[in-house]
């Protein structure tokens, strides 16, 4: 099981980071093209703001779950450094369970938001504005998956070391 989690972590994180980097490069190129097109050619296209906002949301949604899986977020060990190994382990499990509940609530809230907003407004590009809330659902679901994998990994490693 630990091998599966390790392989999943490497592949999922690498694909997510490459996709996020490609989105950022795309946004940068789009901005340069918009500047060139506006000031050199004298024409304006108004849809680039929608694309940039959608792209930023996508890049964030793609990057947050792998950061949790890699423990790449900022951690404070001021309290946990003074705890016993068992207390630190129990505190970590409690934090991950609370985080799982919050992520599940976020996914549910995203589903509710999509259902409430679907079909009410469209963007300049003609897509439904409720699509923005799909990223909340994606982040919530993928955080639930990565937190569960992290929790399983933590428990298995603790029992293996004990």
Name every residue whose Cβ is closer than 8 Å to that of residue 140 and which is 6 or more positions away in sequence: 103, 104, 105, 106, 107, 108, 109, 110
- Please report the pLDDT score of residue 124 as a whole number: 64
Dihedral sign, Cα of residue 46, residue 31, residue 14, residue 71: negative
**How many domains, the chain?**
1
For residue 122, list its beta bridge partners.
128
Q: How many CB atoms lie within 10 A of CB 85?
A: 10
The distance in angstroms from the start CA to the end CA of the chain is: 17
User: pLDDT 10s digit of each residue in the chain, 162 long?
Assistant: 778 888 988 999 999 999 999 999 999 998 888 888 888 888 877 778 778 888 888 888 889 888 888 877 766 677 777 888 888 888 889 989 999 999 999 999 999 988 888 877 766 666 777 777 888 899 999 999 999 998 998 888 888 876
Question: What is the CB neighbour count within 10 angstroms for residue 65?
Answer: 23
How many residues in total does the chain contain?
162
Range of the domain at 17: 2-161
Cβ contact 151:93 at 8 Å? yes
Locate 139 and state its tokens.
């982040």
List C-alpha distances in Å: 125 to 97, 139, 157.
40, 24, 49
User: The whole model's pTM is what?
Assistant: 0.76
Residue 6 burial (CB count, 10 A):
12
């Amino acid at each position: 099981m630990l091998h599966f989690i390790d392989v999943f972590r490497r592949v999922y994180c690498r694909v997510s980071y490459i996709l996020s980097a490609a989105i950022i490069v795309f946004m940068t190129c789009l901005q340069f093209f918009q500047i060139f097109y506006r000031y050199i050619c004298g024409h304006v296209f108004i849809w680039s703001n929608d694309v940039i906002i959608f792209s930023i949301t996508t890049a964030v949604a793609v990057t947050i779950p792998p950061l949790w899986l890699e423990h790449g977020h900022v951690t404070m060990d001021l309290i946990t450094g003074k705890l016993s190994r068992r207390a630190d382990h129990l505190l970590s499990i409690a934090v991950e369970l609370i985080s799982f509940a919050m992520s599940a609530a976020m996914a549910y809230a995203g589903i509710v938001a999509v259902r409430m907003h679907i079909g009410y407004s469209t963007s300049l590009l003609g897509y439904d504005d409720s699509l923005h809330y799909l990223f909340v659902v994606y982040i919530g679901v993928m955080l639930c998956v990565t937190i569960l994998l992290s929790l399983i990994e933590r428990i298995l490693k603790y029992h293996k070391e004990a």
